[in-house]
Structure 1
Amino acid sequence: MSVTAGAPAAPDPGLEHPSLVPAQLLAAADAAPERGPDGVGSTGGRRRVQRSVRDWVVDVTCFLLALLSGAVFVGAALSETPPPPDGLVLADVVAGVAGCLLLWWRRRWPVAVAVLLALLGTFSDMASGAVVIALFTVAVHRRLPVVLGVVAVGLASFVVYTVVRPTDEVPYPIVLGFGVLLSAAVVAWGMFVRARRQLVLSLRERALRAEREQVLQVDRARQMERTRIAREMHDVLAHRLSLLSMHAGALEFRPDASPTEIAQAAGVVRASARQALEDLREVIGVLREGPDGSSSTRPQPTLGDLPALVEECRRAGVRVRAEYRVPDLGSAPPATGRNAYRVVQEALTNVRKHAPGTVASVRVEGGPGTGLTIEVRNPPPAGGEHLVPLPSAGTGLVGLLERISLGGGHLEHGWTADGEFRLLATLPWPADWASA
């Protein structure tokens, strides 16, 4: 086909017929909902994917636009003087329609379809629009080396086209340069669409990954909360339940006890059970904080509650000597006081379990700036053990060690050289802490 003043430029088989390719062709190919470049997911033709409704609409649009543009090119060629031979025109139309039909397989075999259409573009004006769409599809769904290879095949076929259907009106370098520029423009557009789709896929994967990580964080937080509640229940309830077990055992193994002793033991059992229920509600109440952060249950124990804890143990039959060397027990920081309370509670619970009948010594000393030291000592049990050993999970000191470590303190426990079991805890008490 020759190029006249009012006729279009010669087609570029790799990105052929630059000036006559409607922008709608590339826009329709861009709208094709390919799932991802280079065969990722369902694109690139590496595995067959059933067309969606949008795929059908896009493919039909591309096919019709390719036919329409090809008909325009053929009509422009027939309007030239002299017109092409009838045999060439017939071959052009037949090959061009076949090339447009090849677009139906551009999703599955983009490179093969583009190469076949480039070969048809060596002589066919009817295949020009299909060649452009095929090259654009390759640029969207294949990496740059593959795209450059297809472009090279297209430019070679364009050189053959200029020989088969030469033009005298436009100089050959201008025709060839125009074809190269349009090829580069379509490839650049396709690479831009490819980069945009890769960005969308990356953002989608990142969002899915963030959602999965959030689910894992929620599960991890839930598990940590369950573990914390379990440890808190152990610290709170072990003390009360050990009292229940000890006095219930006394009622069981001393049927000859006087009514006064039985009534006293039953009262301790009743009081301990009620206190255990209150402590259980206190632990569960940690999860029931109001919007302002205030708890719906009674406050957590503090250092000022230690004397009441010691007196309670004494009423339960535990022999305790307590020494407080703190100017004001109520002035300790809440976290330090609560941890100190749990240390003494766990230590006296272990004394009742493992050293019944012995005398436990509790010493609490310290102040702002010097820290708080809690020491509980008891000798080994004299004589036989309790007839029915109290149950023990063996994890009380482990949980206590972790509690103290998280609070910034230090915990030691073990037998001393003089044969006593010692539990020693040191807790921080900032110098600038002011009591409320």
Structure 2
Amino acid sequence: MAYPHPDDAPSSRSSREWAIAAAQTIVCLVLGIALWFISTGLTLTEYQNAPPLALRTFTLGELVVGLPIALVIGPLRFLRPGRLHTVLHIALAVVGSAGTLGLPAATLALVRIGRRRQLAPDAVVLALLCALGVALAALDHAMRSTAGTRVDALLPIVVMALAAIPLLVGHTLATRQILVASLGRQAVAAQKAREAAEREAGALRRERDAEIERVRAEERAALARDMHDSISHQLATIAMHAGALTYREDLSPAQVRSAAGTVRDAAQVANQELKEVLLALRSTEGAVPLPTAPTLDEIVDLARESGQDVTLTWDGVTPAELAARSRGTVVAMARILSEAVANAAKHSPGAPVAASLTRTGHRLVLHVRNPLPGPPEEPHDAPSTGHGLIGIQERARLRGGDATTRREQDSFEMEAWVPW
């Protein structure tokens, strides 16, 4: 990924950017004039206010050349990066370094060259500054009529060391700015990734909730279909006995009371099951016949025929007693047992399944237990959505009961109950 260069020209020349440019110009101008006055004062003191003509000419030249350099160094920050930008700053660095007044501006130019983080401009400006230093030293010796061979030999090293400092400062500033920009982009990318992950998690939760609601709706629909025949049977019983009471005048008081009791019992059962149907309130299309009490034993027999080891024990209740209760209770227990056996076959194939139907007080409890599958290294491919257990719980709750599951260290247990 290409990053924008840290020394790119400001995208908008706002009042703040102009203030920075003006501040750079003023600082370079003030420092340059101060250095020029100090240098001029030392020269006048050295020659007792009568320096050679060549030195006076050079000092005046510093003033003439250094002032424009100090004035333009600030606005040049708006110049777009490129070859012209590099050439102008190299020229300013070399020319400005020739005198004291342009030295601060030349230093700032070196910093900007360093911010480009390019080896070629750095090498060129260092070479030119070394050559300039040697030439200025020779010129100074000529103007002062002195010699200093030892100083001349060390001069290129000193010049390179001094010029390398602002170049390294520019490199450091640019690297820091690029690092900060990169961290900022990473932070933005991380924030976007977190937001995307949160949106995905929210979508998964909504999808899961919708799937759970769909399973529960299917269970309600199944319960409503199962109740269809039961309510029809109770209503037919009421109509038959009530019709007999309307035209049979030869019935004894005992027979009348018996028929009225039958009508009353059928009405109570129909009323209870109608409430359950209204609670589910689903379409009756595709209604199937209601299973009877032996369906529990038939479920066990079918599982055994498929190779499953399933046992069902009755405790405190018999198939006949169960059949005499609400037929909705029979259907609920049959559906719950069927789902529990199928769940055991899926997750623990070949393992024995122990089921028990127990009446305890005012509850009818179905308990199913099966061992857990073998160690993880054994192959076992049984994808599961958990919808079967949700359906069991929904089926029990629609009958006024509930269902729970429990995973032990070596077994899985399901317990569902409905009112008796």
TM-score by length of 2: 0.51
Q: 2:112 aligned with 1:140, yes or no?
A: no
Q: 2:42 aligned with 1:76, yes or no?
A: yes
Percent identity between the aligned chains? 13
CA distance in 1, matches of 2:339, 2:12: 80
CA distance in 1, matches of 2:225, 2:173: 75
Based on CA coordinates, which of the two structures has the bigger radius of gyration? 2
SS at match of 1:410: coil
Q: 2:151 aligned with 1:174, yes or no?
A: yes
2:71 pairs with one of 101, 104, 112: 101
Whether the aligned pair in 1 keeps the contact of 2:31 and 2:101 (CA below 8 Å) is no
Q: 2:105 aligned with 1:130, yes or no?
A: yes
The aligned counterpart of 1:339 is: none
1:248-268: CA deviation from partner (whole Å, max 9, x where unpaired)? 79879x999647586465322
The aligned counterpart of 1:334 is: none
CA distance in 1, matches of 2:186, 2:24: 32
CA shift for structure 1 position 205 = 2.3
Counterparts of residues 363-402 of structure 1 (less than 5 Å): 363=341, 372-373=348-349
Counterparts of residues 247-286 of structure 1 (less than 5 Å): 247=224, 258=236, 263=271, 266-272=274-280
CA distance in 2, matches of 1:84, 1:205: 57
SS at match of 1:159: helix
CA distance in 2, matches of 1:210, 1:39: 18
CA distance in 1, matches of 2:12, 2:173: 23
The change in CA–CA distance for 1:154 and 1:205 in structure 2 (over 3 A counts) is: same
SS at match of 2:341: strand
Whether the aligned pair in 2 keeps the contact of 1:362 and 1:374 (CA below 8 Å) is no
CA distance in 2, matches of 1:216, 1:433: 41
Q: 2:149 aligned with 1:165, yes or no?
A: no
Whether the aligned pair in 2 keeps the contact of 1:77 and 1:84 (CA below 8 Å) is no
CA shift for structure 1 position 149 = 0.8
1:76-108: CA deviation from partner (whole Å, max 9, x where unpaired)? 334443614244443332112122223224423
For 2:341, give the aligned amino acid.
Answer: R
Whether the aligned pair in 1 keeps the contact of 2:227 and 2:277 (CA below 8 Å) is no
CA distance in 2, matches of 1:61, 1:316: 101
The change in CA–CA distance for 1:191 and 1:164 in structure 2 (over 3 A counts) is: same
For 1:158, give the aligned amino acid.
Answer: G
For 1:126, give the aligned amino acid.
Answer: L
Q: 2:410 aligned with 1:410, yes or no?
A: no
2:88 pairs with one of 112, 121, 130: 112
More helix by share: 2
The change in CA–CA distance for 1:227 and 1:94 in structure 2 (over 3 A counts) is: same
The change in CA–CA distance for 1:218 and 1:315 in structure 2 (over 3 A counts) is: farther
What is the alpha-carbon root mean square deviation over aligned residues? Answer: 5.1
The aligned counterpart of 1:90 is: 60
CA shift for structure 1 position 112 = 0.8
TM-score by length of 1: 0.49
Whether the aligned pair in 2 keeps the contact of 1:103 and 1:134 (CA below 8 Å) is yes
Q: 2:162 aligned with 1:190, yes or no?
A: no
For 1:92, give the aligned amino acid.
Answer: E
CA distance in 2, matches of 1:374, 1:67: 98
CA shift for structure 1 position 69 = 1.5
For 1:268, give the aligned amino acid.
Answer: E
SS at match of 2:211: helix
For 1:184, give the aligned amino acid.
Answer: A
Whether the aligned pair in 1 keeps the contact of 2:117 and 2:174 (CA below 8 Å) is no
For 1:363, give the aligned amino acid.
Answer: V
Whether the aligned pair in 1 keeps the contact of 2:114 and 2:171 (CA below 8 Å) is yes
Whether the aligned pair in 1 keeps the contact of 2:21 and 2:74 (CA below 8 Å) is no
Whether the aligned pair in 2 keeps the contact of 1:99 and 1:120 (CA below 8 Å) is yes
Where does structure 2 lack aligned partners over 5 or more consecutive residues? Answer: 80-84, 239-266, 283-288, 304-308, 313-330, 352-379, 385-406, 414-420
CA shift for structure 1 position 432 = 5.3
For 1:410, give the aligned amino acid.
Answer: A
The change in CA–CA distance for 1:235 and 1:371 in structure 2 (over 3 A counts) is: same
1:205-241: CA deviation from partner (whole Å, max 9, x where unpaired)? 2244134324323432442343244234423543444
* Structure with the larger RCO, 1 or 2 (CA within 8 Å, 6+ apart): 1
CA shift for structure 1 position 45 = 4.3
Whether the aligned pair in 1 keeps the contact of 2:32 and 2:100 (CA below 8 Å) is no
Q: 2:196 aligned with 1:219, yes or no?
A: yes
CA shift for structure 1 position 151 = 1.6
The change in CA–CA distance for 1:75 and 1:47 in structure 2 (over 3 A counts) is: farther
CA distance in 2, matches of 1:169, 1:361: 110
